[in-house]
Amino acid sequence: MSDSVAVWARPERGRRGPAPERSRDQIARAAIAIADADGLAAVSMREVAASLGTGPASLYRYVRAREDLLDLMADAVLAELELSAAPSTDWVDDLVALAGEVKAVHLRHPWLLDLPPQPSRLGPRAIDLIEHALGLMRHLPVQGRVKLEVIGVVNSLVAQFARHETAAEAPVSDRQAAQTAYLGKVAADGSHPLLAAALADTAPGDALDVFEPTIRHVAMGLTGIAHR
Amino acid sequence: MSDSVAVWARPERGRRGPAPERSRDQIARAAIAIADADGLAAVSMREVAASLGTGPASLYRYVRAREDLLDLMADAVLAELELSAAPSTDWVDDLVALAGEVKAVHLRHPWLLDLPPQPSRLGPRAIDLIEHALGLMRHLPVQGRVKLEVIGVVNSLVAQFARHETAAEAPVSDRQAAQTAYLGKVAADGSHPLLAAALADTAPGDALDVFEPTIRHVAMGLTGIAHR
DNA sequence: TTATACTGCGATCAGCGTTCGCAGTATAAG
DNA sequence: CTTATACTGCGAACGCTGATCGCAGTATAA
């Protein structure tokens, strides 16, 4: 099996020999369970194989490398999205709602935020998501590439906000406690008065909800189309 | 040395014993050179130590773990930013220019894009950058936390656009060729007509420059302040 | 002068991703 | 029906990783 065939373009079984005992989806879901419980770093080939009751080498019948497994995981969680809703009359509202659903996927699977996005990670469900998002913008009088740009930017913002919310909710690690102490020290020593003031202006637990306005502004700004 | 002290808050030498032979900055720069040449995955403790002519265990006198080294690397590259320019009369122009400079840092050091951003990665230079950015917005009649939100969102967009440009310029790997072929196949099979149309509408090499408008819209949108 | 904190780093541990190659299975070919 | 061979599962092994232990020399504090 060549490097030059994307994992989702490969057939799941050969034309001879026994039927495989597992599927790529099953392996991806086993990996997702581990990532959900213990983070992405815990998703080793050995750990995934053990959770399936097999040896690590057997996974290489389904994926070429761990990177393929990560691709499968990232795409598999998008199955949680309900993409069949018909667009309303307000494409910006629809895009904001879709962005909110994608953000919710990230909140359920925080390890997604540890996966550097790569254009090469687009699987069937990611492609369905893009098609759906393009559907929301179907009638806009702008070029396709502008629409794709909007989608890329919105995805990036979704991850950013998800990261923010995840950090706010997660138990504080030693590392984060150390950083907070460090920031407090810097704020206290007078060398960064604007930062000190801004931090003082940011009460804990008093989170802004700027997700929706951010998505709105970006969508309307890039397409040049006002909300109606 | 406790986990609970951030790497940049730790003294560089003890009060007794020989002076250390190296500095954290020197180690960070050795690591950056490796990352620039061969990517982040090549930055192993062994590789960094070998490039410094020492053994891997000696690095643990300077950092507690590889994660600390990554923190130092991420902060060290921000030294390339020239932050002393006085603000002009147009805060949005200034913010866009600053964002462009930060994007240029990412383009010179593409491995930054493989580092999941963490709030705990903020070192002295990152803090200087935030202070500077707050300075550009010093006179805006909005809360400090809104300003911090703008900075967070802009940073996220900077990374997104840098990733995009990096992908456009990098030699195409087998993986990316496979993905492109896969997208082509999906576009050809008729199941995603909007995507097919959008891709057809996106001529290679005909990149949109929506970086500046995106930053503008986000900045003005979040602060509620029109460009003037 | 002595105690001891500090430094450098080899040796070692435990784990990782991945490949090789064996053996059994099931389909294609004759 | 028999044979060839593509296919599958996976143990063993390779080469690499991050990190810790503990020794020995150094330099400051007591």
- Six-digit token pair at A139? 């009638």
Residue A161: pLDDT band with limits 50, 70, 90? very high
Query: Any idea which fold B84-223 has?
Result: Tetracycline Repressor; domain 2 (1.10.357)
| C-beta atoms of B149 and A208 within 8 A | yes
| pLDDT score of A30 | 98
**Distance in angstroms (rounded) separating the CA atoms of residues B192 and B186:** 7
Render each residue's pLDDT in chain B as its tens digit; 228 residues.
446 789 999 999 999 999 999 999 999 999 999 999 999 999 999 999 999 999 999 999 999 999 999 999 999 999 999 998 888 989 999 999 999 999 999 999 999 999 988 877 899 999 999 999 999 999 999 999 899 999 999 999 999 999 989 888 888 888 888 999 999 999 999 999 999 999 988 766 556 688 999 999 999 888 887 655
**Mean pLDDT value across residues A141-148:** 91
| pLDDT score of A169 | 81
- Six-digit token pair at A54? 């097999």
| C-beta atoms of B183 and A127 within 8 A | yes
- Residues of chain A with pLDDT > 70, as a percent, come to 95
CA distance B28 to chain A (A): 19
| pLDDT score of A203 | 64
Give the number of other Cβ atoms within 10 Å of residue B201's Cβ: 15
Q: Which residues contact A90 (CB under 8 A, 6 or more apart)?
A: A227, A228
**Distance in angstroms (rounded) separating the CA atoms of residues B15 and A70:** 47
Give the number of other Cβ atoms within 10 Å of residue A172's Cβ: 12
Q: What is the DSSP letter of B15?
A: S
Among A135, A82, A147, A9, which Cα is nearest to B186's?
A9
| pLDDT score of A205 | 57
Handedness of CA B165, B168, B171, B173 (dihedral sign): positive
| pLDDT score of A224 | 84
Return the CATH number of the domain spanning residue range A82-223. Answer: 1.10.357.10
* Residue A111 vs residue A118, higher pLDDT: A111
Determine the nucleotide nearest to A64 by Cα–C1' distance: C18
| pLDDT score of B206 | 59
CA of A60 to C1' of D3 (A): 29
Q: What is the DSSP letter of B53?
A: T
| pLDDT score of A1 | 42
Yes or no: say if A78 and A25 are a contact pair by the CB < 8 Å rule. Answer: no
A with B: how many residue pairs have Cβ under 8 Å apart?
195
What's the mean pLDDT when you consider all of chain A? Answer: 91
Residue A57 contacts strand D, CB under 7 A: yes
Angle between helix B124-136 and helix B91-108 axes, rounded to 10 deg: 150
The model's pLDDT over B113-145, given as tens digits with 9 standing for 90+, comes to 999 888 778 999 999 999 999 999 999 999 998
Handedness of CA B49, B53, B57, B62 (dihedral sign): negative
Yes or no: say if B28 and B69 are a contact pair by the CB < 8 Å rule. Answer: yes
**Distance in angstroms (rounded) separating the CA atoms of residues B118 and B23:** 24
- Six-digit token pair at A147? 């629409």
| pLDDT score of A70 | 97
Residue A169: its H or E element: helix A144-169
Residue A227: pLDDT band with limits 50, 70, 90? low
Q: Which nucleotides of C are covered by protein (CB under 7 A)?
A: 4-11, 15-21, 24-28
| pLDDT score of B1 | 42
Domain B7-77 in CATH 1.10.10.60 = yes
Please list the alpha-helical segments (H only) found in B10-90. Answer: 24-38, 45-51, 66-76
Yes or no: say if A91 and A140 are a contact pair by the CB < 8 Å rule. Answer: yes
Q: Which nucleotides of D are covered by protein (CB under 7 A)?
A: 5-13, 16-22, 25-29
Among B13, B25, B16, B17, which Cα is nearest to B61's?
B13
| pLDDT score of B205 | 58
Domain ranges of chain B: 7-77, 84-223
Residue A202: pLDDT band with limits 50, 70, 90? confident
- Residues of chain A with pLDDT > 90, as a percent, come to 71
Yes or no: say if A51 and A34 are a contact pair by the CB < 8 Å rule. Answer: yes
Which of A45-49, A67-71, A114-118, B48-52 has the lowest average pLDDT? Answer: A114-118
Judged against a pLDDT cut of 70, whether residue A204 lies above it is answered with: no
| pLDDT score of A226 | 66
| C-beta atoms of B178 and A9 within 8 A | yes
* Burial class, B133, CB count within 10 angstroms (exposed 0-12 / middle 13-18 / buried 19+): buried
Yes or no: say if B129 and B102 are a contact pair by the CB < 8 Å rule. Answer: yes
Residue B205 contacts strand D, CB under 7 A: no
